[in-house]
Amino acid sequence: GQQVMQIPQYQHVQEGEDFTTYCNSSTTLSNIQWYKQRPGGHPVFLIQLVKSGEVKKQKRLTFQFGEAKKNSSLHITATQTTDVGTYFCAVASGTYKYIFGTGTRLKVLA
């Protein structure tokens, strides 16, 4: 079956450092979504990527969809303590199922 892996599993950074998480699929994707889950909270939608090689930016966050549409990355520039949480990618699998990646838990040290 389809597999979606995220790396790294955990990342601790000093405030002001950059952070990147990667999402890799075993199959070609039609689109990919990114969500953020704060500690104790529920996932919140960040963005959706559809086109091969697409790059989207939201303030300090940069999202990229690979040329082959099998991988994606989320990059945060100059992390802040408000960036703490777990970042998930999500992909549609088959017709009726969504698969969430394993998640990358980000800790920002002030």
Partner 1 sequence: GAGVSQSPSNKVTEKGKDVELRCDPISGHTALYWYRQSLGQGLEFLIYFQGNSAPDKSGLPSDRFSAERTGGSVSTLTIQRTQQEDSAVYLCASSLGMFGYEQYFGPGTRLTVT
CB of 108 to partner 1, least distance (A): 18
- Residues at the contact surface with partner 1, assessed by CB under 8 A: 30-31, 33, 35, 41-45, 48, 50, 88, 90, 92, 94-103
Nearer to partner 1, 3 or 80 (CB): 3
Paired tokens of 78: 């100059």
Q: What is the rounded distance in angstroms from the CA atom of residue 13 to the CA atom of residue 25? A: 26
Residue at token pair 């994606």? 72
CB of 6 to partner 1, least distance (A): 9
Closest CA to 76 of 89, 94, 93, 63: 63
CB of 78 to partner 1, least distance (A): 26
Closest CA to 13 of 73, 59, 76: 76
Nearer to partner 1, 66 or 103 (CB): 103
